[in-house]
């Protein structure tokens, strides 16, 4: 087994090294102007013809020779003979020879004999578009390195330019590698990984102006990787190998590049993105991207995007930046530049950001992210409530309408988000999965619009009210029922262990999968333990945590746990069995300021909409009988 230690080169230094040692060769091609939107000019372009190419009427009316109209006045109307003294003309029409002015249709009267009567003289060249007013031959239309927009195409065509020399979109090969990698859509076996990275990488490259080509998947075999790399280098300006850039015994990207070219660097001081390889072969840049999706896409953006834009003589567009207040602490390690995906909502006039999971493999963290927090290598991170700057993945204007749902997560919250967006494209919803307790705290700090809560108070045996009273004393908040939902044991098909009560878990030593601290379901489980006079150490797997009902069900489905506590739709999603335990009340805790907003009114409309309620109840285990009902907190 090889032992390879990656270097820890700062990202900026790595990019400078890469750019100083290699780059994409700039080439030009001639294309039709009609097809040139978004392309980059290779040289300044000058008009060949003038537009208009003749003196033209700027108004609908009649063309005259101004000299012949000097006598016209209110008292002394002048009558001009058709097709001798005047000519009918429409906007854009060519001025008949001998004419040098146009009189507007509103200012003339056509008499019965066809003569035109005018009440004022025309001044020479009035209402005449001079030749070349729009574009004049010889004029610079667009400079070199110009990104062609729709009106540019118009000016070029008006100026008689129908073909144009542009910079070639760099051709980039994407080589998916790995013996476990299969094409997307193929049936998955245990241990096989569908190659979705190539689709994402190609889509990014196209956005940036490159022309990607995804090549066939290459297994973990040095000779085959070298062969694929050599072939790709023949036709492409840059080659990406994904993955095989790490330090495992089957990571051949380093060796392949080392043999036929040169490795500049292996390992960048970032998280995610560390196992990146930068090098060249045949004078062309080659990059080995990490296999984890988030790592791969970030590394692609850091090292390939600048090269693509450079080859097109452009600067990569900068992301909008925004000051946000942190809803949660974000710790970081010294020596590593960290990239934390964040959800951002606009609560009471302030932007509140919460970190998403940092897993380098969690594509969903990029899907859900509204922005990115970059923590420099020399920082230990940031405290809760600290104000930090984030780079935005969505325009700020969109984030203004972004509701922040903290607290417990339920599929209904997602359905609410999608229904909101359907009814008003200005409104969207981001979730911070903080658990019920975290949700109440976030509402308490004014850092969320709403929070899903389902917390059973053992003493009163009632949901939510006692917790809110205790955690938010004196604060005006609103509690609105969303649904009742059935909690129960999620177990394998046929319930082979006969799980029924919590005592079964302890007695039969069933491998359990728990929810995270602060989650309502965790608190329910602890309450059940208490009632049964059991302690956590009697439950095998009590320490193993997941963050959602679906992930609990997934673990049971994968056979690594025998039982979990959760809701019916989660069991259904995996075709598992479900043993109902208790119906719980799932409420929305809502801040006072949001409660009275138009967005909240829309939210309540949706909750009370029979179609929406039907959609929810069809998920299974939900009752919407009190949906939208206000619950007195005090």
Please report, as residue ranges, which positions from 92 to 121 form the binding site for its own copies (by CB under 8 A).
Answer: 92-94, 100, 105-106, 110
Alpha-carbon dihedral angle through residues 53, 59, 62, 66, given to the nearest 10 degrees: -70
What DSSP element (H or E) covers 606?
helix 598-608
What number of chain residues touch its own copies (CB under 8 A)? 129
Output the smallest distance, CB 531 to its own copies, in A: 27
Neighbours of 492 (CB within 10 A): 17
Judged by CB under 8 A, does residue 574 bind its own copies?
yes
The length of the chain in residues reads: 634
Pattern 303-342, binding to its own copies, x per CB under 8 A? Answer: ----------xxx-xx------------------------
Among candidate residues 411, 564, 585, the one with its CA nearest the CA of residue 488? 564
The candidate with the shortest Cα–Cα distance to 460, out of 386, 555, 527, 390, is 527
In whole angstroms, the minimum distance from the beta carbon of 524 to its own copies comes to 21
Interface residue with its own copies, options 212, 417, 452, 488 (CB under 8 A):
417
The only residue of 13, 29, 81, 139 in contact with its own copies, by rule CB under 8 A: 139
Rounded to whole angstroms, the Cα distance separating 614 from 419 reads 13
CA–CA dist 631, 624 (Å, integer): 15
Member of 10, 77, 85, 361 binding its own copies (CB under 8 A): 361
Smallest separation, CB 495 to its own copies (Å): 20
Q: Is 1 in the site for its own copies (CB under 8 A)?
A: yes
C-beta separation of 601 from 536 below 8 A? no
Pick between residue 18 and residue 86 the one whose CB is nearest to its own copies: 86
Of the residues 22, 50, 354, 464, which one makes contact with its own copies according to CB under 8 A: 50
Interface pick for its own copies out of 145, 231, 358, 508 (rule CB under 8 A): 145
Residue 546 interacting with its own copies (CB under 8 A): yes
Q: Which residues from 275-304 bind its own copies, rule CB under 8 A?
A: 291-293, 297
Residue placing its CB nearer to its own copies in the complex, 18 or 204: 204
Indicate whether 25 belongs to the interface with its own copies (CB under 8 A): no
Per CB under 8 A, which of residues 370..389 are in contact with its own copies?
none
User: How far, in whole angstroms, is CA 28 from its chain's centroid?
Assistant: 32
Among 73, 144, 535, 596, binds its own copies (CB under 8 A): 144
Q: Could you say whether residue 31 binds its own copies (CB under 8 A)?
A: no
Please identify which residue in 10, 53, 85, 492 interacts with its own copies, judged by CB under 8 A.
Answer: 53
**Judged by CB under 8 A, does residue 346 bind its own copies?**
no
CB distance 581 to 489 below 8 Å:
yes
When the beta carbons of 463 and 489 are compared against its own copies, the nearer one is 489
C-alpha separations of 289 from 175, 278, 337, 362, 541 in Å = 10, 9, 17, 16, 36
Whole-number Å distance between alpha carbons of 253 and 192: 20
Per the CB < 8 A criterion, the answer to whether 284 and 269 are in contact is no
Which of 191, 216, 473, 494 is in the footprint of its own copies by CB under 8 A? 191
Say how far apart CA 315 and CA 399 lie, in whole Å: 26
What is d(CA 591, CA 171) in angstroms, rounded to the nearest whole number? 52
- Of 70-78, 193-201, 444-452, 460-468, the segment contacting its own copies by CB under 8 A is 193-201
Q: Give me the least distance between CB of 517 and its own copies, in Å please.
A: 16
Residues 202-231 that bind its own copies (CB under 8 A): 203-204, 206-207
- At 270, list the tokens: 């970032």
134 binds its own copies (CB under 8 A): yes
Phi-psi region of 365 (alpha: psi -120 to 50; beta: other; left: phi over 0): alpha
User: Closest by alpha carbon to 588, among 628, 555, 554?
Assistant: 628
DSSP one-letter code for 220? S
Distance between CA atoms of residues 634 and 631, nearest Å: 9
Chosen residue from 13, 16, 29, 249 binding its own copies by CB under 8 A: 249
Neighbours of 575 (CB within 10 A): 9
Piece in contact with its own copies (CB under 8 A), picked from 381-389, 490-498, 544-552, 596-604: 544-552
Out of 347, 505, 553, 589, point to the residue binding its own copies (CB under 8 A).
Answer: 553
Residue 447 CA, chain-centre distance (Å), reads 23
* Options 426, 476, 608, 625; binder of its own copies; rule CB under 8 A: 426
Judged by CB under 8 A, the residue of 16, 37, 81, 530 near its own copies is 37
Q: Which is nearer to its own copies, 149 or 625 (CB)?
A: 149
Instruction: Give whole-number Cα distances, 324 to 340, 350, 399, 441, 627, in Å.
Output: 14, 7, 12, 18, 33
Shortest Å, Cβ 522 to its own copies: 17
Is 305 in a helix, a strand, or coil? Answer: helix
Q: Is 75 exposed, middle or buried (0-12, 13-18, 19+ CB in 10 A)?
A: exposed
Selected from 363, 495, 516, 623, the binder of its own copies by CB under 8 A is 363
- Choices 37-45, 261-269, 445-453, 599-607; region in contact with its own copies by CB under 8 A: 37-45
Q: Choose between 146 and 271: whose C-beta lies nearer to its own copies.
A: 146
352 token code pair: 């509140």
Are 516 and 436 within 8 A, CB to CB?
no
What residues numbered 575-614 form the site for its own copies, per CB under 8 A?
none
Q: Which is nearer to its own copies, 478 or 562 (CB)?
A: 562
Q: How far is the CB of 527 from its own copies (least distance, A)?
A: 25
Minimum CB distance to its own copies, residue 526 (Å): 20
Residue 411 binding its own copies, by CB under 8 A: yes
Identity of the residue, 223 or 315, whose beta carbon is nearer to its own copies in the bound complex: 315
CA dihedral 301, 400, 424, 354 (to 10 degrees): 60
Q: Please identify, among the stretches 127-135, 231-239, 589-597, 625-633, the one whose residues bind its own copies according to the rule CB under 8 A.
A: 127-135
For position 573 contacting its own copies by CB under 8 A, the verdict is yes
Q: Which is nearer to its own copies, 230 or 609 (by Cβ)?
A: 609
CA distance 242 to 280: 15
Inter-CA distances, 243 with 263, 438, 520, 548, Å: 16, 38, 40, 29
d(CA 454, CA 475) in angstroms, rounded, equals: 19
Nearer of residues 365 and 436 to its own copies, judged by Cβ: 365
């Amino acid at each position: 087994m090889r032992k390879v230690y990656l270097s820890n080169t700062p990202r900026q230094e790595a990019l400078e090294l890469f750019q100083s040692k290699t780059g994409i060769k700039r080439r030009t091609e001639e294309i039709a102007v009609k097809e040139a939107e978004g392309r980059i000019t290779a040289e300044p372009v000058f008009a060949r013809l003038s537009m208009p190419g003749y003196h033209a009427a700027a108004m609908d009316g009649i063309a005259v020779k101004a000299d012949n109209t000097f006598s016209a006045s209110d008292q002394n109307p002048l009558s001009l003979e058709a097709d001798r003294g005047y000519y009918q003309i429409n906007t854009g029409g060519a001025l008949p020879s001998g004419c040098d002015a146009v009189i507007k249709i509103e200012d003339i009267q056509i008499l019965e004999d066809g003569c035109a009567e005018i009440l004022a003289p025309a001044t020479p060249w009035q209402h005449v578009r001079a030749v070349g007013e729009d574009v004049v031959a010889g004029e610079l239309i667009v400079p070199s390195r110009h990104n062609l927009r729709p009106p540019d195409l118009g000016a070029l065509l008006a100026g008689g330019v129908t073909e144009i020399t542009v910079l070639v979109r760099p051709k980039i090969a994407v080589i998916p590698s790995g013996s476990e990698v299969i094409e997307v859509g193929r049936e998955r076996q245990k241990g096989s990984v569908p190659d979705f990275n190539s689709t994402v990488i190609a889509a990014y490259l196209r956005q940036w102006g490159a022309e990607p080509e995804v090549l066939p998947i290459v297994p973990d075999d040095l000779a085959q990787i070298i062969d694929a790399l050599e072939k790709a280098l023949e036709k492409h300006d840059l080659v990406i190998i994904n993955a095989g850039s790490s330090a495992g015994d089957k990571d051949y990207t380093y060796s392949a590049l080392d043999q036929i070219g040169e490795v500049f660097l292996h390992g960048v001081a970032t998280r995610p993105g560390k196992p990146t390889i930068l090098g060249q072969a045949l004078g062309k840049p080659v990059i080995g991207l990490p296999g984890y999706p988030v790592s791969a896409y970030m590394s692609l953006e850091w090292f390939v995007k600048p090269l693509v834009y450079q080859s097109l003589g452009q600067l990569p567009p900068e992301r909008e930046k925004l000051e946000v207040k942190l809803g949660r602490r974000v710790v970081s390690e010294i020596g590593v530049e960290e990239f934390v995906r964040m959800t951002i909502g606009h609560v009471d006039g302030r932007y509140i950001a919460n970190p998403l999971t940092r897993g380098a493999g969690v594509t969903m963290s990029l899907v859900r992210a509204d922005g990115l927090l970059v923590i420099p290598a020399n920082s230990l991170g940031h405290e809760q409530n600290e104000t930090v700057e984030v780079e935005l993945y969505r325009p700020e204007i969109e984030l203004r309408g972004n509701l922040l749902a903290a607290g417990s997560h339920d599929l209904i919250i997602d359905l609410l988000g999608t229904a909101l967006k359907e009814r008003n494209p200005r409104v969207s919803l981001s979730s911070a999965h903080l658990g019920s307790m975290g949700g109440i705290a976030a509402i308490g700090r004014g850092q969320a619009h709403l929070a899903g809560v389902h917390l059973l108070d053992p003493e009163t045996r009632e949901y939510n009210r006692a917790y809110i009273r205790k955690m938010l004393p004196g604060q005006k908040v609103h509690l609105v029922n969303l649904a009742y939902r059935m909690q129960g044991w999620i177990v394998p098909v046929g319930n082979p262990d006969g799980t029924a009560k919590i005592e079964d878990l302890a007695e039969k030593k069933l491998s359990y999968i728990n929810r995270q601290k602060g989650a309502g379901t965790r608190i329910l489980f602890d309450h059940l333990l208490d009632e049964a006079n059991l302690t956590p150490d009697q439950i095998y797997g009590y320490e193993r945590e997941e963050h959602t009902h679906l992930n609990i069900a997934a673990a049971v489905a994968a056979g690594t746990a025998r039982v979990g506590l959760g809701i019916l739709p989660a069991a259904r999603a995996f075709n598992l069995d479900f043993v109902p335990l208790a119906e719980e009340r799932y409420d929305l805790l809502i801040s006072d300021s949001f409660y009275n907003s138009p967005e909240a009114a829309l939210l309540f409309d949706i909750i009370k909409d029979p179609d929406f309620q039907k959609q929810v109840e069809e998920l299974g285990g939900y009752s919407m009988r009190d949906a939208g009902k206000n619950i007195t907190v005090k």
